[in-house]
C-alpha cells in the first residue's frame, strides 16, 4: 500500500448522525465475489471481487441533503436510477464505510476522486460508471482496488478537509 495513504482513522471517527447537511461523500464498498451485471445504458459489465470507492456530492437540503442521499444508497429496495444503484442492489455488494465532508463546491467530488485515483493508484472499474455529473474528466467516480481502499479514501479527505471529516463504519 502506498505510504502516503496511511492515516490514523481513530482521530476522525464520528457518528453517522453528525453528517453535514451538504457535502461530498465516498462510499467504501466490498464486493465479495466476481459478478457480471447489467448497468443500465452501460450494458453488461464485469466487477471483480474487491474494494470500491464511489464518490459523489449532495448539495441540497431536505430530500437532496447528504444524509438523505446516503440513506438512499444504503437501502437495497429501490428502483435503480444511478449506475451505483445497480451495483448496490446486489447481495454480494456491501457498503462498509461512509466518509463525508462539508462543502458546497460540486467540483470537490472530482478532486477527491482524482486524488484517490492518482495518488493512491486505485483503478477505474468501469469507464463511464457514475460519471454523468462529473466536472473534471474523471472517467468514473467508481474506483477499484484489490486491497482495502479505505486508507486511500481517508488520505484524500485529510488532504482536502483536514479535521472536517466524518466517518461511519457500517
Ligand atoms: Zn469527476
Tell me: the pLDDT tens digits for 6-15?
Answer: 433 433 333 4
Tell me the CA–centroid distance for residue 88 and ligand 1, in Å. 20
Q: Where are the domains of the chain?
A: 19-169
Q: Report the residue count for the chain.
A: 170
Tell me the CA–centroid distance for residue 130 and ligand 1, in Å. 9
Tell me the β-bridge partners of 35.
47
Tell me the CA–centroid distance for residue 136 and ligand 1, in Å. 5
Task: State whether the Cα torsion 160-17-30-110 is positive or negative.
Answer: negative
Q: What are phi and psi of 144, to 5 degrees?
A: -120, 145
Tell me the CA–centroid distance for residue 133 and ligand 1, in Å. 7
**Cα within 13 Å of Cα(17), Cβ side:** 0
pLDDT at 77 over 90: no
pLDDT at 16: 53
Q: What strands lie across the sheet with 50-58, from one edge to the other?
A: 123-124, 142-145, 50-58, 23-31, 93-102, 166-169
Dihedral class, residue 137 (left if φ above 0, else alpha if ψ from -120 to 50, else beta): left
Neighbour tally for 56: CB within 10 Å: 22
pLDDT at 2 over 80: no
Give CA–CA dist 58/67, Å, rounded.
9
Lowest mean pLDDT across 32-36, 61-65, 153-157: 61-65
Query: pLDDT tens digits for 87-123?
Result: 999 999 999 999 999 999 999 999 999 999 988 778 9
Tell me the CA–centroid distance for residue 129 and ligand 1, in Å. 11
Tell me the CA–centroid distance for residue 56 and ligand 1, in Å. 9
Per the CB < 8 A criterion, the answer to whether 24 and 56 are in contact is yes
Strand 93-102 and strand 123-124: pairing?
Answer: unpaired
Neighbour tally for 59: CB within 10 Å: 18
Tell me the CA–centroid distance for residue 104 and ligand 1, in Å. 15
pLDDT at 18 over 80: no
Tell me the CA–centroid distance for residue 156 and ligand 1, in Å. 14
pLDDT at 119: 83
Tell me the CA–centroid distance for residue 83 and ligand 1, in Å. 14
Tell me the CA–centroid distance for residue 123 and ligand 1, in Å. 14
Tell me what the pLDDT averaged over the chain comes to: 87
pLDDT at 107: 94
Per the CB < 8 A criterion, the answer to whether 51 and 97 are in contact is no
Per the CB < 8 A criterion, the answer to whether 102 and 162 are in contact is no
Tell me the CA–centroid distance for residue 131 and ligand 1, in Å. 6
Give CA–CA dist 118/39, Å, rounded.
25
Q: 0.85 cut: is pTM over it?
A: yes
Query: pLDDT tens digits for 125-152?
Result: 899 999 888 989 999 999 999 988 999 8
Q: What are phi and psi of 31, to 5 degrees?
A: -105, 120
Amino acid at each position: 500500500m502506498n505510504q502516503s495513504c496511511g492515516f490514523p482513522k481513530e482521530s476522525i471517527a464520528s457518528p453517522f448522525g453528525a453528517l453535514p447537511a451538504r457535502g461530498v461523500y465516498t462510499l467504501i464498498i466490498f464486493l465479495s465475489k466476481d459478478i457480471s451485471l447489467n448497468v443500465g445504458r452501460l450494458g453488461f459489465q464485469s466487477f471483480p471481487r474487491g474494494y470500491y470507492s464511489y464518490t459523489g456530492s449532495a448539495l441540497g437540503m431536505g430530500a437532496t441533503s447528504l444524509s438523505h442521499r446516503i440513506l438512499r444508497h444504503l437501502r437495497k429496495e429501490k428502483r435503480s436510477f444511478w449506475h451505483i444503484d445497480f451495483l448496490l442492489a446486489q447481495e454480494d455488494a456491501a457498503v462498509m464505510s461512509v466518509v463525508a465532508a462539508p462543502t458546497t463546491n460540486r467540483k470537490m467530488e472530482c478532486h477527491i476522486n482524482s486524488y484517490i485515483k492518482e495518488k493512491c493508484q486505485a483503478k477505474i472499474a468501469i469507464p463511464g460508471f457514475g460519471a454523468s455529473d462529473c466536472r473534471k474528466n474523471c472517467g468514473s467516480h467508481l474506483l477499484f482496488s484489490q486491497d482495502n481502499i479505505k486508507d486511500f479514501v481517508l488520505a484524500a479527505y485529510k488532504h482536502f478537509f483536514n479535521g472536517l471529516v466524518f466517518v461511519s463504519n457500517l
